[in-house]
Amino acid sequence: MKIAFIIGTRPEIIKMSPLMDEVKKRGIDFILIHTGQHYDREMSQQYFDDLKLPHPDYNIGVGSTTHGKQTAVMLDGIEEILSSERPDIILVQGDTNAVMAGALAASKMHIPVGHVESGLRSYDKTMPEEINRMVADICSTLFFVPTEESAINLIFEGLNSNNIHITGNTVVDAVYRNLKIAGKYSDLDLNLDKDYITLTLHRAENTDNPQRLRDISDALLNLKETEIIFPVHPRTIKTLNKLNLYQPLVDAKHIHLMNPVGYLDFLVLLSHSKVVITDSGGIQEEAVTMNIPCVTLRYNTERPETVAVGGNILVGTDKELIIRTVRNILEDEKLYQKMSQAKNPYGDGKTSQKIVDIISRAYENNELKITPPDNIGGLEGRFIQKVEESIDVSGYVNKHPDTRIIVVFDGDKARFPHGDLQLEDKTIIVEKHSIQ
């Protein structure tokens, strides 16, 4: 079996790293394609060094440009590489333009796509990431979703529940593997005896909106009672400078700006933080994994599990609400305890093993082949049924082999149809297939 990993940006490098380690450990053949969307040393190479990843076999070198052009160049480059390499499956991770381009190029060539961190939805189509996630999922064969909620998002979009695997998120694997060695290798020069907040900011809807960026900067300048450490994404430096907001942040004594730091340094930074303020996706997950209260500078999140377990509070970009919420968390011991004890919803750190198990099984069973249908008819439609007998999902499917349970309603809560889920008194949506 040959796997092609496609990556383009910092979070993809980090979250794919445990999967690459696992594939390497099992002696599975793989190639690594970097689209070059992130190219500065501090946005790309330093993560390869930290995580001891192999040099990419290909780098498309797309660089920064408009979304359309960037996606087009990546599509073209990926297609060319895939036609000569012909992998058995490609893996993409998350929701960047590289993910959309990789999934689209491969699916048009009938090469199966495994989407890692599939099924996330913010239900906000103004975000470029939401479009990328949805396109990638439509093009995918195997869906590696972190939680039951993300599985249900896909089911409601009509995607095949047989191919949806709840695996957790590889972000937890990366944190568990690297946090224990991070301190040893980190040369971050921090006064760790002092309480501080870590801040990151790069989301397009914040950095491209002058009013939002001003409000966030004002809030940071006001939070004088706490030290704030801010590794600044290159995108954000550019827009802060354009709006004359950069220098006041540099001048503020309690704010410490720096270039993006390596992954091991960032783990050290985050794990010693009192609180993290961010608009990052991955950092919302890392915060709940490391028991650091998280304040998210967004109006929605595709990681609602972090809010549901109590580890994350969404504040949007309202200056007063940011200040009030941060002060509340720092001053209210009970709230602080509750947030820092939130249960991690993203798995046990074995996500990459589960994903490689699933891919290997699919390969051995000859399921990694995309072929046109040769049966007449196919679907006979869906129906809703209230189950009255004592039976679980596997039992039901064995008894009715021409059906597939799409979703189970447990009261008013939708559940993913796990094999051992009891169906008695529950309502199910079933899809019926004709048997040839």
Residues recognised as catalytic: 202
Residue 260 interacting partner from ligand UD1, ligand UDP, none (CB closer than 5 to 8 Å by kind): ligand UDP
Cα separation, 103 vs 113, in Å, equals 6
Binding flag, residue 235, ligand UD1 (CB under 6 A): yes
- Picking from 358, 351, 373, 361, the residue whose alpha carbon sits closest to that of residue 114 is 358
Query: Segment 201-230, which members bind ligand UD1 (CB under 6 A)?
Result: 202
The site string for ligand UDP over 272-301 (x = CB under 6 A, - otherwise) reads --------xxxx--x---------------
Cα separation, 274 vs 255, in Å, equals 15
Residue 60 vs 283, nearer CB to ligand UDP: 283
Binding flag, residue 200, ligand UDP (CB under 6 A): yes
Residue 3 vs 43, nearer CB to ligand UD1: 43
Q: Which of the stretches 5-13, 73-81, 185-193, 304-312 binds ligand UD1 when contact is defined by CB under 6 A?
A: 5-13
The site string for ligand UD1 over 20-59 (x = CB under 6 A, - otherwise) reads -----------------xxxx--x----------------
Cα separation, 127 vs 123, in Å, equals 9
- Picking from 434, 435, 424, the residue whose alpha carbon sits closest to that of residue 385 is 424
Coil/strand/helix, residue 271: helix
Q: Which of 101, 261, 294, 359 binds ligand UDP (CB under 6 A)?
A: 261
Query: Segment 365-384, which members bind ligand UD1 (CB under 6 A)?
Result: none
- Smallest gap from residue 42 Cβ to ligand UDP (A): 8
Name the CA radius of gyration of the chain, rounded: 23
- Residue pair 354/167 in contact by the 8 Å Cβ criterion: yes
B/e letters for 277-308, b = 16+ CB within 10 Å, e = fewer, are bbbbbbbbbbbbbbebbbbbbbebbbbbbbbe
Binding flag, residue 395, ligand UD1 (CB under 6 A): no
- Residue pair 172/348 in contact by the 8 Å Cβ criterion: yes
- Residue pair 164/154 in contact by the 8 Å Cβ criterion: yes
- Smallest gap from residue 283 Cβ to ligand UDP (A): 5
Residue ranges binding ligand UD1 (CB under 6 A): 9-11, 37-40, 43, 64, 95-97, 128-129, 202, 234-235, 238
